[in-house]
Chains A and B, each alone.
Chain A
Amino acid sequence: MTSGTSFDRDKLAKIHDHLHSHLPPEPALRVKALESLLVERGLVASETLDAWVDAYSEDIGPKRGAQVVARAWLDVDFKARLMDDAAKAITEFGFEGKATGDLKAVENTDSQHNVVVCTLCSCYPFSLLGLSPAWYKASAYRARVVREPRKVLEEFGVELGEDTAVRVWDSTAELRYLVVPQRPAGTEGWTQEQLAAIVTRNSMIGTDRVLKAGS
């Protein structure tokens, strides 16, 4: 092999790298192709997609679910409506979402702890809790929380007594879940805003249980 051949190969590699450095990564390129076809065919509007990304990056998150929980703690009539038909109850806040589908609220008690998973993929009440955390989508959580819920909860820092049963709710495209955590002691007289501020996202999925009245 001559050094000239080697030089040409290096040069070609550099030209190749230079050309390809202009290209987005392959998945980004395919997404761009898909989006441009969907827009061109009138199936989605780019403004709708931009608004969705902005909303889920900035506005829509677990603070919505926290408001619902706080209201349920304060207002027994609302709580009754929430437990009866959660999808309808959250329309009182304007938090409904087609992709959230039907919604069921499940309440933690001294004798029962609830935890939510989607064993199939990653179904989640997006319009109420925002984007799901990475661990919720992970294969490890989806498999293990069904098989060994107490152990997974322990890893999340949730300590359950033997007299507290664990119920795992498996979300589907048609039915998703909101855990209503227990209101902590020491929050008597608090406003809805004060209460909402202590409701964590994980407590509404069920991987957190004991909320703290003081921060």
Chain B
Amino acid sequence: MSACNPPREFGPEDDLAPNAPKFGEAWHAQVLAMADTLVTTGQISASDWAETLGAERRVDEINNAPDTEETYYAAALRALERLLDITAIVPKPDLNDRRDTWARAYLATPHGQPVELTAGKS
């Protein structure tokens, strides 16, 4: 009889492994920084943030999204956008307009020069 060893999902950490960067992408850090700061200053409640983030995580789970940090931070961004829209702190149309303005600013700015929002204003 052969031994049945199902693959492990978790494992003890390697004490000798080099320190990994805390954030994979700068925007990962910025999403958490914004959410934490808004909770700390009372603009959004900790429970609303947890509930909204939890709901977005469930969407990923239902859709069988990859169980990765990228998926987690994308859910965190969607949750923050949704919560700020619901609370009218940053309505979605405002955010979409600002996103488009930044996109135009990036495209209008030559490489190597600082990108200013005014460059995208039409």
Residues of chain A whose beta carbon lies under 8 Å from any beta carbon of chain B? 19, 22-25, 27-38, 41, 43-44, 48-49, 52-53, 56-57, 97-99, 101, 118, 120-123, 126, 130-131, 134-135, 137-141, 144, 152, 155-157, 172-174, 200, 202, 207-208, 215
Q: Which of chain B's residues 82-110 have a Cβ closer than 8 Å to chain A? A: 84, 89-90, 94-95, 98-99, 101-103, 106-107, 109
In angstroms, Cα B20 to Cα A46, docked, is: 26
Contact assessment for A140 and B106 in the assembled complex, using a CB-CB cutoff below 8 Å? no
Q: In chain B between 12 and 61, which residues have their CB closer than 8 angstroms to a CB of chain A?
A: 12-13, 15, 21-23, 25-27, 29-34, 36-41, 43, 45-47, 49-51, 53-54, 57, 60-61
Q: How far is the CB of B45 from chain A (nearest CB, A)?
A: 8
A30/B40 contact (C-beta < 8 A), A56-B32, A121-B53 known: no
Report the interface size for chain B: residues with CB under 8 A from the other chain.
61
Across-interface contacts of A98 in B (CB, < 8 A)? 39-40, 46
Within 8 Å by CB of B27, from A31, A38, A99, A207, lies: A31
In the complex the two chains form, what is the Cα distance from A134 to B99 in whole Å? 29
Pick from B15, B30, B41, B74: contact of A35, CB under 8 Å: B30
* Structural contact, A38 and B90, CB atoms closer than 8 A: yes
Between-chain CB contacts (< 8 Å), 16 pairs: A22-B107, A27-B74, A27-B77, A31-B31, A31-B77, A32-B27, A34-B84, A34-B90, A36-B117, A37-B95, A44-B37, A52-B37, A56-B32, A57-B23, A120-B53, A156-B12
Report the minimum CB–CB distance from B73 to chain A (whole Å).
7
Candidates A23, A38, A41; contact of B106 at CB < 8 Å: A23
Kindly report which residue of chain B lies nearest to residue A137, judged by CB atoms. Answer: B72
Chain A residue contacts of B74, Cβ below 8 A: 27
B109, A52: Cβ atoms closer than 8 Å: no
Q: A30 contacts which of B15, B50, B61, B95 (Cβ < 8 Å)?
A: B95
Across the interface, do A34 and B81 meet the contact criterion of CB distance under 8 Å?
yes
- Assembly CA distance A145 to B73 (angstroms): 22
- Chain B nearest CB: distance from A199 CB in Å? 13
Q: Distance (Å) between the CB of A139 and the closest chain B CB?
A: 5
Q: Is the CB of B10 within 8 A of A207?
A: yes
Contact (Cβ within 8 A) B34 A29 = no
Q: Which of A31, A99, A141, A173 has the most CB of B within 10 A?
A: A31
- Contact status B117-A139, CB under 8 Å: no
- B10–A101 touching, CB < 8 Å: no
Please determine whether A43 and B77 come into contact, CB atoms closer than 8 angstroms: no
Cα(A141)–Cα(B111), bound, Å? 43
Q: A52-B36, A126-B36, A173-B47 are in contact. Are A29 and B9 (CB under 8 A)?
A: no
